[in-house]
């Protein structure tokens, strides 16, 4: 046992590039997480078909209620005409249910006002 240890120790001491060679030989094996036969070409498959619609007419603007906003959002989307926007003002909207796009009709846009500014420290 002692003999094997001294041979390995001697090898590493006299071969300064041995560790580098060992690491480089494993790069390709460890760098490929998903094999090529399981990969998906996402080019051309992301985004909205035909691009994001440029709908600018705002039907209504909602403010966060501090409670569950699910019903208010669903009601606004249901009443919204096609090709118009239900805008969400800045803030945190609590959605504890489903926003059911299939039952409210098509051509309606739910748009946020952007990320709120974080409070200063």
Selection from 9-13, 32-36, 105-109 with the highest mean pLDDT: 105-109
29 found inside a domain:
no
What Cα–Cα distance (Å) separates residue 6 from each residue in 1, 12, 41, 51, 62? 9, 10, 51, 66, 74
Q: How many domains does the chain have?
A: 1
64 found inside a domain:
yes
pLDDT digits (tens, 9 = 90+) for 79-116: 999 999 999 998 889 999 998 877 788 888 899 887 66
102 found inside a domain:
yes
107 found inside a domain:
yes
Domain that holds residue 103: 58-112
Phi, psi of 68 (to 5 degrees): -80, 120
46 found inside a domain:
no
pLDDT digits (tens, 9 = 90+) for 38-68: 877 766 666 666 766 788 999 999 999 999 9
28 found inside a domain:
no
């Amino acid at each position: 046992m002692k003999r094997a240890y001294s041979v390995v120790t001697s090898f590493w001491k006299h071969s300064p590039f041995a560790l580098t060679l060992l690491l480089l030989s494993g790069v390709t094996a460890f760098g490929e997480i998903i094999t090529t036969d399981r990969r998906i070409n996402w080019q051309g498959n992301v985004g909205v078909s035909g691009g994001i619609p440029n709908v600018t007419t705002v039907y209504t603007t909602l403010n966060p209620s501090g409670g569950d906003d699910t019903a208010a959002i669903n009601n606004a989307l249901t009443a919204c005409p096609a090709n118009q926007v239900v805008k969400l003002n800045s803030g945190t909207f609590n959605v504890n249910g489903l926003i059911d796009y299939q039952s409210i009709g098509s051509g309606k846009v739910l748009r946020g006002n952007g990320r709120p500014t974080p409070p200063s420290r």
